[in-house]
Amino acid sequence: MGILDEDIARVRETTDIVALIGEHVALKRSGGRFTGLCPFHGEKTASFSVNAALGFYYCFGCQESGDAITFVRKIEGLDFAEAVERLAAKAGVTLRYDSAGATQDRRKKERLTETVSAAVEYYHRLLLEDASGGHARGYLRSRGFDGDAARQFSLGWSPDGYDTLVRHLYTLKFSRDDIVAAGLAFVNRAQKAQDFFRARLLFPIFDRAGAPVGFGGRTLTDDGPKYKNTMDTPLYHKSRLLYGLNWAKAEIGARDEVVICEGYTDVMGFALAGIPNAVATCGTALADDHVQILKSFTRHVVLAYDADSAGQNAAEKWYQWEQRFDIEVKVAALPNGQDPGDVFKDDPAALVKAVEGASRFAQFKIDRVLATADMTTPEGKARAADQVVPVLREIPNELVREQYIQMVSGTLGIEHGWFKQAIARRGAPRPRGDDTGERRPPPVTVDRREEDALRWAIHQPELVVDWLESSLFVDPVAREAFEHLWSADELHEAIEGAEGPARSLLERLAVEEPIADDEPETVRARLVVNIVRPAAERLQEEFRRTGDERLSELTVLLDQLRNSAGAGWAGGEAAAMQLVRCIPSWTTS
């Protein structure tokens, strides 16, 4: 079952392979061919060749070869059908399938894309024209962004209405299923579709091909989390998305460099300051998939985080990525306490200067230590030497580390051998706790399944709002935390109202983002089954001990859950929901 062969051939024939590969590789004409640096292995001399007439590419260095479909598969991590569909959409080719189901799946994704696109247009119009968007327009002006910037990045405003977007999309004949599946709304307890984004400045997020897939929403008040992103959908996968890549990819290839930021306004600031090769992650930390995607465009990375983040976070991770992906990481030295968006507002030229003067990661960290050192006294130099040793120890390449040791030794006037010995020594781990040496209590731990449900209840309550009850929690700490969470209007209120272990649990889960390895429907099914089953088993034991006449009914339902869950989460959800309807009444009667 798949795409018809003649349609696949049409896709190959109509795709401009030079333009396609040119989105990822800077190509130069060489006679009848085009050449560039291979995106599949590290090289300094161009050995990657594209034959436009035949529609093939070949690398003389690593022997990677293929046609347009092969290239898209490898560069974007798609399967064959996905690659053909991606190219067909770009070329305007309508595909036919020998399976009605495959055609239906493709049309569903197209419909979801149309739904998100309609939402982008609607929210954008409200920001530019509607009175409700006045506060958001004022906020943008305060950050140095005018109406032209809002238009350039298709920014939007979601009003604080219960179902404002939903009702608008209904008038455009989009179904509730499409709206919910696109991550634009969720079904609440009253079984009504409710807008996912309310009272937020919206940054539309596009995939690298330029198709809208979701939003990042910033609150302009103190209510709720500062940023809220579309949950994972058939279109939106945050681990494979980079904000701004759709605009920046050509410039990244042309400049052979990418600037990585932390926020949406940082990307905007860089672009408007004359650095259009900046991208940012979408509500998640930079991960292997992101680096792999960027490696396809360039191997030169400039980190443009605020100074503290760039200097202190995950040094080992960056060194590993440098070796694993054969990339070069530099850091833009931004003013302390300012992110790129702040710098853009005050001095756009300073952003350009920071990127142009970026230094290698190790050099940046060493410079930060030495910049605050008292170089006029022996005590100050000795203190700087002690502080720079951990930075030197982080450097994995022995030859590179040796050169930095020589540099620091010369700067501080301290013998080279002292640094070698200090790096070799690993002091005892610092005790956990504050400066007084007092040990903090260990983190509160509860059943992982119940902890997972609480984490989703905090970060994406729409997945649990219509079924999760306190009676389903076996662990008393988790139950107490849930009761505070559900009785409060917002998270801060819940944490303030809780005490002891329940408060500690809520505080920790508030900063732990849930990891969604599956579609939202599968995540929901997993949560329901994992919570309901132990709750039902506990109640079964109680009924058995007390001789309760409801034991037989409960046992039948529990057996159904066990049997159906064995075939997968989706199968177990229906049986679990039957127990959801029974357990609360059984535990209170």
Q: Could you tell me if 137 and 110 are in contact, meaning their C-beta atoms sit under 8 angstroms apart?
A: no
Q: Mean pLDDT: which of 7-21, 101-115, 284-298, 424-438 is highest?
A: 7-21
Compare 516 and 302 and report the one with higher pLDDT.
Answer: 302
Measure the CA–CA gap between 133 and 220, rounded to whole angstroms: 11
Quick check: 428 pLDDT over 90?
Answer: no
Q: How many CA atoms lie within 13 A of 385 on its CB side?
A: 24
Token digits of residue 349: 């030229």
Measure the CA–CA gap between 349 and 460, rounded to whole angstroms: 40
Question: Which pLDDT score is estimated for 426?
Answer: 59
Compare 495 and 306 and report the one with higher pLDDT.
Answer: 495
Average confidence (pLDDT) over 18-38: 87
Quickly state the pLDDT bin for 206 (edges 50, 70, 90). Answer: very high
Average confidence (pLDDT) over 377-405: 87
CATH number of 242-360: 3.40.1360.10
Burial (CB count <10 Å: 0-12, 13-18, 19+), residue 424 = exposed
Quickly state the pLDDT bin for 518 (edges 50, 70, 90). Answer: low
Q: Could you tell me if 205 and 218 are in contact, meaning their C-beta atoms sit under 8 angstroms apart?
A: no
Q: Could you tell me if 483 and 493 are in contact, meaning their C-beta atoms sit under 8 angstroms apart?
A: no
Closest alpha carbon to 212 in 203, 220, 221:
203
Burial (CB count <10 Å: 0-12, 13-18, 19+), residue 441 = exposed
The one-letter amino acid code at 28 reads: K
Phi-psi region of 331 (alpha: psi -120 to 50; beta: other; left: phi over 0): beta
Q: Could you tell me if 271 and 278 are in contact, meaning their C-beta atoms sit under 8 angstroms apart?
A: yes
* Helical packing angle, 416-424 and 398-412, nearest 10°: 130
Measure the CA–CA gap between 310 and 550, rounded to whole angstroms: 60
Asked if the domains 242-360 and 372-424 are classified in one and the same CATH topology, the answer is: no
Average confidence (pLDDT) over 381-401: 86
Q: What is the pLDDT of residues 32-89, one digit of tens each?
A: 788 999 888 777 788 888 888 778 888 888 878 888 998 988 777 677 887 888 899 8
Which residues are 260's β-sheet partners? 279, 303
Which residues are 331's β-sheet partners? 303, 359
Closest alpha carbon to 336 in 366, 315, 305, 313:
305
Question: Which pLDDT score is estimated for 589?
Answer: 58
Q: Could you tell me if 186 and 196 are in contact, meaning their C-beta atoms sit under 8 angstroms apart?
A: yes
Quick check: 444 pLDDT over 70?
Answer: no
Ordered by start, the domain boundaries in the chain are 5-91, 109-236, 242-360, 372-424, 448-588
Q: Which residue has the tokens 């990481």?
A: 329
Q: Looking at domain 372-424, what is its CATH homologous superfamily?
A: DnaG, RNA polymerase domain, helical bundle (1.20.50.20)
Closest alpha carbon to 340 in 273, 291, 286:
273
Neighbours of 278 (CB within 10 A): 29
Measure the CA–CA gap between 387 and 372, rounded to whole angstroms: 11
Question: Which pLDDT score is estimated for 433?
Answer: 40
Phi-psi region of 527 (alpha: psi -120 to 50; beta: other; left: phi over 0): alpha
Measure the CA–CA gap between 142 and 90, rounded to whole angstroms: 38
Q: What is the pLDDT of residues 126-177, one digit of tens each?
A: 999 999 999 999 999 999 999 999 999 999 999 998 899 999 999 999 999 9
Question: Which pLDDT score is estimated for 140?
Answer: 95
Strand pairing category for 258-261 and 278-281:
parallel
Q: Looking at domain 5-91, what is its CATH homologous superfamily?
A: Zinc finger, CHC2-typedomain (3.90.580.10)
Token digits of residue 344: 């853009």
Question: Which pLDDT score is estimated for 310?
Answer: 44
Q: What is the pLDDT of residues 254-304, one digit of tens each?
A: 788 999 998 899 999 999 999 999 999 887 778 888 888 888 778 899 988
- Between CA 42 and CA 50, with CA 47 as vertex, the angle to 5 degrees is 115
Measure the CA–CA gap between 408 and 121, rounded to whole angstroms: 55
The answer to whether domain 109-236 has CATH 3.30.70.560 is no
Sheet strands side by side (includes 212-219): 156-158, 200-206, 212-219, 227-229
Token digits of residue 133: 């968007």
Tell me, letter by letter, the H, E, C secondary structure of 408-435: HHHHHCCCHHHHHHHHHCCCCCCCCCCC
Quickly state the pLDDT bin for 438 (edges 50, 70, 90). Answer: very low
Share of residues in the chain with pLDDT > 90 (%): 25
* DSSP assignment string, 354-372: HHHT-EEHHHHHHHHHHHT
Quick check: 99 pLDDT over 80?
Answer: no
Token digits of residue 136: 């958001």
* DSSP H helices in 27-99: 68-76, 80-91
Quick check: 342 pLDDT over 80?
Answer: yes
Closest alpha carbon to 401 in 351, 446, 363:
363
Q: What is the mean pLDDT of the chain?
A: 84
* DSSP assignment string, 550-588: THHHHHHHHHHHHHHHTT-HHHHHHHHHHHHHHHHHHHH
Quick check: 429 pLDDT over 60?
Answer: no
Quickly state the pLDDT bin for 440 (edges 50, 70, 90). Answer: very low
Question: Which pLDDT score is estimated for 61?
Answer: 82
Token digits of residue 242: 């980079």
Quick check: 209 pLDDT over 80?
Answer: no
Q: Could you tell me if 538 and 546 are in contact, meaning their C-beta atoms sit under 8 angstroms apart?
A: no
Which residues are 194's β-sheet partners? 186
- Least confident range of 7-21, 95-109, 227-241, 524-538: 95-109
The one-letter amino acid code at 126 reads: L
Q: Could you tell me if 243 and 281 are in contact, meaning their C-beta atoms sit under 8 angstroms apart?
A: yes
